[in-house]
């Protein structure tokens, strides 16, 4: 059985998708979401195999949502949209599929068939998320869980990213969020412009660095604007100092 | 839509034509006086009793006085520019200065000539003053009259060019507004979404799907009928807007409610065709499509003395608009093209509600 999530803000359109998918024996409809943020929460909690995302949705568009997913564990994505928008063309090669409204049952099932063939294909997931990132301002905004809610954080306010097993701690001023993502994937989303690695398991916002204090063996201690101190291993020292022009 | 980044050659018409006009006038003026001097010198060759420099002095003093007159005249011409459409009044305005011009002209040139003759110690012999005044006045009237004609021609030409330019800009902005308007009409996005809603409804509620399909068709027809130049009654405009609203309400089911507050009297008012629908579309876009919060859209139309006031307000706007979009600018351009300064559009927003307010001079359709 294929576990499928639907994110569509227009009720009739959502109903149509749900009705057609229920006709399909192989599909288990696990979530029906009315906007992007709701879908992001559901993807996090129910971990569907496939997400059918409308592009135009309030709050968080389908594209923005895809850009915020972990490239490693994202569901397969099928975009559903009313118009052959510019951004969608970028997915012709990289996403599993996209559906143009209005579509009929055959076209939807054709998509489902395509998806089934690629359920185990990591590269496809990766490409879809990476393409979504290039189509949105994914480097400037980070979707983080805040209690029961999901909020979009301005990445300029993020001071450090610290990995801990399968999680990343995001420090932004006095606030602290935990994301179930890898540091590598997070840095791939946020880009090299703002964040720089100082350790195998930590990266900092270049703008937040206050000072460096030398430790033993060429390691340094990095002091951040909030007063937080992190260790910088000598492996990353040269690259960072080169960027800072020292 | 792309706008050409280069400035059209007539971006600054006034200065350009003004400069060209002055240069042309200076060349003509120079040629004229060279010709006059040449004639005077030729005269002198036939008459050995005059010295070689005398004709040059005579013409030179006239040229100096004439140039002063020309400069003053050009200044004055700029002031009475609005009379160019009435040549008779224009000439009368200038000619009424001529007695004064003639007297001061003669006085100026003879003062200069006497001064020069006195300086070289020769006596300046000329006709008696009375005769001279009449003779010179006639000459002044003839020549300056001729030049006045030339100035008139140049001024008229530059005015004509300016008007032509203004007309061209007006037509250009009108064409742009039309194009933008057409683009803003029923974007494909809207149509495809409406079709999808129908496709969804027809499986569960055939009569409702049928009704919606008819409404989409009617709206499409109305938008194809749209003619920029024409005015229509507010009543007809509202019919189109209601079609659009019904389709949107169907799409956004529980998220949108629309309220109509229309004065009966306003229904006969004349408004530009397809002016309401893009504004309603804007309200849906910002108040409904961009937020999950249920929104209320209020359309109100009323007469305030000699003005028709249309307001389209939407609640539920969470993200304030960054400013006025193409839709509002187009709408304003159209109102301006139709009604000049009396066609107004104002947009206000406080982050929770947004309102577009249009004012149009009251015009009623005659039954």
C-beta separation of B328 from B282 below 8 A: yes
**CA-nearest residue of chain A to B286?**
A58
Min Cα separation A182/chain B (Å) = 31
Q: What is the pLDDT along chain B (367 residues), one digit of tens a residue?
A: 343 333 333 334 456 677 888 888 899 999 998 998 888 888 888 887 777 788 888 888 888 988 988 888 888 887 888 788 888 888 888 888 888 888 888 888 888 888 888 888 888 878 788 888 888 888 888 888 888 888 888 888 888 888 888 787 777 666 666 666 555 556 788 889 999 999 999 989 999 999 999 999 998 888 777 655 578 899 999 998 999 999 999 999 889 999 999 999 999 999 988 889 889 988 998 889 888 888 999 999 999 999 999 999 999 877 777 777 777 887 888 888 778 788 899 999 887 889 999 999 999 887 6
**CA-nearest residue of chain B to A20?**
B200
Helix axes B129-184, B87-95, angle to 10 degrees: 140
Per-residue pLDDT tens digits for A162-210: 999 889 999 998 899 999 999 999 999 998 889 999 999 999 999 999 9
Inspect the interface and report whether the beta carbons of B252 and A10 lie closer than 8 Å: yes
Among A10, A56, A100, beta carbon nearest to B197: A10
Distance of CA B305 to CAs B11, B236, B272, B362, B363, Å? 39, 22, 19, 8, 11
ipTM of the complex: 0.80
Rounded Cα distance between B251 and B247, Å, is 6
A35 contact residues in B (CB cutoff 8 A): 292
Rounded Cα distance between A223 and A234, Å, is 16
Min Cα separation B328/chain A (Å) = 22
A52 contact residues in B (CB cutoff 8 A): none
Min Cα separation B341/chain A (Å) = 37
The count of other CB atoms within 10 Å of the CB of residue B106 is 20
**CA-nearest residue of chain A to B292?**
A58
Inspect the interface and report whether the beta carbons of B196 and A58 lie closer than 8 Å: no
Rounded Cα distance between A1 and B227, Å, is 55
Inspect the interface and report whether the beta carbons of B289 and A12 lie closer than 8 Å: no
Among A13, A103, A104, beta carbon nearest to B197: A13
Select from B26, B53, B31, B27 the least CA-distant residue to B40: B53
Inspect the interface and report whether the beta carbons of A12 and B251 lie closer than 8 Å: yes
Min Cα separation B19/chain A (Å) = 48
């Amino acid at each position: 059985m294929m576990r499928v999530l639907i994110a569509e803000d227009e009720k009739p359109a959502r109903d149509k998708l749900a009705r057609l998918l229920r006709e399909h024996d192989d599909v288990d409809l696990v979530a029906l979401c009315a906007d992007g943020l709701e879908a992001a929460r559901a993807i996090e909690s129910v971990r569907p195999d496939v997400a059918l995302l409308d592009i135009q949705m309030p709050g968080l568009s389908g594209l923005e949502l895809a850009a915020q997913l972990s490239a490693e564990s994202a569901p397969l994505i099928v975009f559903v949209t009313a118009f052959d928008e510019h951004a969608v063309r970028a997915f012709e090669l990289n996403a599993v599929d996209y559906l143009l409204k209005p579509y009929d049952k055959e076209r939807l099932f054709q998509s489902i068939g395509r998806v089934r063939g690629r359920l185990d294909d990591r590269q496809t997931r990766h490409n879809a998320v990476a393409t979504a990132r290039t189509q949105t301002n994914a480097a400037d905004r980070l979707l983080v869980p805040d209690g029961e809610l999901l909020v979009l954080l301005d990445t300029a306010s993020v001071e450090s990213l610290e990995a801990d097993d399968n999680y990343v701690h995001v420090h932004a001023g006095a606030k602290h969020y935990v994301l179930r993502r890898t540091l590598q994937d997070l840095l791939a989303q946020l880009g090299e412009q703002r964040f720089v690695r100082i350790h195998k398991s930590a990266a900092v916002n270049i703008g937040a660095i206050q000072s460096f204090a030398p430790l033993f063996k060429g390691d340094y201690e990095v002091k951040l604007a909030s007063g937080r101190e992190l260790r910088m291993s000598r492996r990353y020292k040269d690259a960072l100092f080169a960027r800072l022009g020292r | 839509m792309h706008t050409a980044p280069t400035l059209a050659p007539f971006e600054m018409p006034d200065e350009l034509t003004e400069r060209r006009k002055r240069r042309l006038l200076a060349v003509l003026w120079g040629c004229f006086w060279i010709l006059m001097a040449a004639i005077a010198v030729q005269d002198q060759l036939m008459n050995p009793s005059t010295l070689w420099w005398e004709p040059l002095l005579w013409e030179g003093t006239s040229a100096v006085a004439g140039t002063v007159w020309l400069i003053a005249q050009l200044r004055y011409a700029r002031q009475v520019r609005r009379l160019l459409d009435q040549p008779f009044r224009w000439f009368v305005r200038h000619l009424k200065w001529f007695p004064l011009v003639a007297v001061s002209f003669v006085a100026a040139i003879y003062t200069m000539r006497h001064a020069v003759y006195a300086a070289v110690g020769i006596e300046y012999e000329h006709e008696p003053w009375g005769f001279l005044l009449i003779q010179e006045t006639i000459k002044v009237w003839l020549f300056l009259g001729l030049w006045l004609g030339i100035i008139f021609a140049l001024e008229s030409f530059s005015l004509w060019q300016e008007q032509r330019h203004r007309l061209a800009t007006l037509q250009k902005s009108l064409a742009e507004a039309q194009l933008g308007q057409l683009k803003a009409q029923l974007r494909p996005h809207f149509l495809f979404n409406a079709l999808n809603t129908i496709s969804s409804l027809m499986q569960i509620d055939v009569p409702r799907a049928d009704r919606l399909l008819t409404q989409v068709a009617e709206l499409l027809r109305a938008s194809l009928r749209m003619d920029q130049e024409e005015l229509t009654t507010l009543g007809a405009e509202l019919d189109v807007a209601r079609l659009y609203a019904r389709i949107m309400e169907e799409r956004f089911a529980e998220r949108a409610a629309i309220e109509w507050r229309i004065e009966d009297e306003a229904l006969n008012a004349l408004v530009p065709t397809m002016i309401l629908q893009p504004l309603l579309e804007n309200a849906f876009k910002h108040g409904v499509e961009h937020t999950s919060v249920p929104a209320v859209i209020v359309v109100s139309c009323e007469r305030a003395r000699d003005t028709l006031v249309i307001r389209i307000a939407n609640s539920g706007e969470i993200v304030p608009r960054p400013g006025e979009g193409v839709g509002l600018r187009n709408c304003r351009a159209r109102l301006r093209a139709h009604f000049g300064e009396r066609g107004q559009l104002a947009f206000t927003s406080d982050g929770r509600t947004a309102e577009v307010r249009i004012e149009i001079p009251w015009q009623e359709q005659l039954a």
